[in-house]
Chains A and B, each alone.
Chain A
Amino acid sequence: MPQRQLAAMGTDCLLILHGPEDDPAAEEALERAAQQVREYEERFSRFRPESELSRLNESPQDQVQVGAELGALLARSLEYARITGGLFDPVVLDDLLVLGYDRTFEDVRDRPHDGAVGETPRLRWRDVLVDAAHQVVARPSGARVDLGGIAKGAAADAAIAELSSYSGALVDLGGDIRVQGRPTDSDFWIIEVEDGQRPDGAVDYIRLRNGAVATSSLRKRRWLHNGDIVHHIIDPRNGQPARAGVLQCSVIADTTEHAEVAAKVGFIRGPGFLHERSELGKALGVRGIAWLTLDGTYRRTSGWRKHELDC
Chain B
Amino acid sequence: MGTKNGMKRRTRITLALAALTTAAFGAAFGLVAQQGVPGQTTTTAAATQTAGQSSSAPAQSSGSSVAPSNGSSSSQRAAAPRVVHARTRAT
Contacts and interface: CB of A to CB of B under 8 A. Distances in A.
Given A195-B74, A298-B77, A302-B60, A215 B51 contact: no
B87 A201 contact: no
Contact of B78 (A201, A248, A306): A201
A309 B79 CA distance: 10
Nearest to A216: B90
Contacts of B90: 175, 194, 196, 199, 215, 217-221, 248
A209 interface: yes
Interface string B58-91: 1010001111010111110111110111111111
B57 interface: yes
Given A195-B78, A198-B74, A202-B80, A306 B54 contact: yes
Most chain A CB within 10 A, of B46, B57, B66, B81, is at B66
Nearest to A168: B85
A188 B88 contact: no
A203 B74 contact: yes
B3 interface: no
Interface in B19-50: 38-39, 41-42, 46-47, 50
Interface residues of B, number: 39
Assign chain A's interface to a size class.
35 or more
A177 interface: yes
A194 B88 contact: yes
A191 B88 contact: yes
B89 A190 contact: no
A183 interface: yes
User: For A14, A183, A273, A299, which residue has the most chain B Cβ atoms within 10 angstroms?
Assistant: A299
Interface of A: 10-11, 14, 16, 152, 170, 172, 174-177, 183, 185-199, 201-205, 207-211, 213-215, 217-221, 248, 250, 271-273, 275, 278, 287-288, 291-292, 296-311
Given A188-B51, A305-B60, 19 more contacts: A11-B91, A191-B86, A192-B84, A192-B87, A193-B87, A194-B89, A205-B81, A205-B84, A207-B46, A217-B90, A220-B90, A272-B66, A296-B73, A296-B75, A297-B73, A302-B57, A307-B51, A308-B54, A310-B54
| 6 nearest CB pairs, A to B | A217-B90, A302-B60, A194-B89, A174-B91, A209-B51, A175-B89
